[in-house]
Amino acid sequence: MTGIVGYGTYVPKYRLKIADIAEVWGKKAVEIESGLRIAEKAVPGFDEDAVTMGVEAARKAIEMAGVKPEDLQSIYFGSESHPYAVKPSSTALGEYLGVGNNYFASDLEFACKAATAGIQVTTALLQSRNINYGLVVGSDTAQGKPHDALEYTAASAACAYILGNKQSEIIANILEMSSFSSDMPDFWRRDGARYPSHFGRFSGEPAYFTHVIGEGKNLLQKSKLEPSDFAYCVFHMPNGKFPRVAAKKLGFTPEQLAPSLTVDKIGNPYTASSLMGLAAVLDIAKPKEKIFFVSYGSGAGSDGFIFQATKAILQKQKKTIPVTKQLEQKIYISYSSYLRQTHTI
């Protein structure tokens, strides 16, 4: 059995209100906020990028796991906003953490599910006994073209997970995993393009729901479990509406979903989105409780996992600041400050 032995999250302290974006472009904030179910989003400081945020999250994961950096034998870094087009983020992270040289490393890109693909790869390495501990990071900085619909939701955050195969250290076992994939380019960014493009409203029903619901059904069928068997469910959160609809379609209750909805507070930090929701759930999960998890990445595909908390989670929960408290540590900035900090002017 393999599973999570530690996790860490990092959310930039800066927040931009959706109402401020709407005011600049002459839009009605009430309509946008009610449609997206988001009131504000987290944005990076001028000196923050996917790697710096990933370092902060990884340090917390290492502390919770109780391992040394040199114990890590693989690093998979998922992001849509790697600082360099040609230069790995994974090795930069390894250098900052002091991992050494003897580790597998790769940067992953699959829109917002890049990091969950990394969890699958790391799980395979653990099950084949090629490694004892592996680090997976999902980290992104906001990428939304000014005056585009994405500008209201594209946010910034980082999540790090350390996986292992020592049962005494695992806080959540991976019981099942599977994927649902297809070629459906609802969201893309060509090489050299500064901002991503999308099909607007057509990115919802045919893309997100096709894959998330498809993978959700796969996972339930494979595991032979029912929605009622789970304490919590977690879905990718491109906005506040989609995960709520997906949960309902699959038969989950609002109460099962509510603890994971970090999108309401920080927007959509892409590869960190579903993983941030998972961290919020792990903060409160009790031994033996099951967690239903489905990510989504445009292009398109969904990765699904079933986690089950162990008794080790109770002690390790004490080693972290809950996600809910991190989300409240914030400083509001103006739209002009946001543009300067994200280098869009």
Read off the amino acid at residue 55: V
pLDDT of the residue at 202: 61
CA angle 258–59–177, rounded 5-degree value:
50
233 is catalytic: no
pLDDT of the residue at 201: 63
112 is catalytic: yes
Tens digits of residue pLDDT in 299-316: 999 999 999 999 999 999
80 is catalytic: yes
User: Is residue 13 pLDDT above 60, yes or no?
Assistant: yes
pLDDT of the residue at 204: 67
Whether the full predicted model's pTM is greater than 0.75, yes or no, is: yes
Which candidate in 40, 80, 169, 215 is catalytic?
Answer: 80
User: Is residue 342 pLDDT above 60, yes or no?
Assistant: yes
pLDDT of the residue at 186: 84
User: Residue 267: which pLDDT band, with cuts at 50, 70 and 90?
Assistant: very high
How many angstroms separate the CA atoms of 256 and 160, rounded? Answer: 23
Domain ranges of the chain: 3-170+321-341, 172-315
User: Is residue 234 pLDDT above 80, yes or no?
Assistant: yes
Burial 31-41 (b: 16+ CB within 10 A, else e): ebbeebbbbbb
Structure tokens at 214: 């498809």
User: Is residue 343 pLDDT above 70, yes or no?
Assistant: no
pLDDT of the residue at 63: 97
pLDDT of the residue at 196: 83
pLDDT of the residue at 143: 81
Read off the amino acid at residue 32: I
Q: Give percent above pLDDT 70 in the chain.
A: 98
Q: Give percent above pLDDT 90 in the chain.
A: 87
Tens digits of residue pLDDT in 180-207: 999 988 888 888 888 888 876 666 678 9
Which candidate in 33, 40, 48, 112 is catalytic?
Answer: 112
Cα–Cα distances (Å) from 74 to 69, 105, 326, 329, in that order, read 11, 6, 28, 32
- Looking at domain 172-315, does it have CATH number 3.50.50.60? no
| 158 Cβ contact list (under 8 Å, min separation 6) | 9, 10, 50, 53, 54, 56, 57, 137, 138, 139, 140, 269, 272
What 3-state DSSP class applies to 149? helix
**172-315: same fold as 3-170+321-341?**
yes
| 123 Cβ contact list (under 8 Å, min separation 6) | 2, 163, 174, 177
Task: Say which residue, 327 or 201, is predicted with more confidence.
Answer: 327
pLDDT of the residue at 65: 98
pLDDT of the residue at 297: 95
User: Is residue 160 pLDDT above 70, yes or no?
Assistant: yes
Task: Of 293, 316, 318, give the one whose Cα is nearest residue 304.
Answer: 293
Task: Of 292, 290, 223, 222, give the one whose Cα is nearest residue 257.
Answer: 292
Task: Of 324, 316, 328, 330, give the one whose Cα is nearest residue 60.
Answer: 316
CB 273 within 8 A of CB 208: no
Q: What is the 3-state secondary structure (H, E, C) of 22-73?
A: HHHCCCCHHHHHHHHCCCEEEECCCCCCHHHHHHHHHHHHHHHHCCCHHHCC
Task: Say which residue, 105 or 339, is predicted with more confidence.
Answer: 105
Q: 3-170+321-341 has which CATH code?
A: 3.40.47.10
Tens digits of residue pLDDT in 275-289: 999 999 999 999 999
Q: What average pLDDT does the chain have?
A: 95
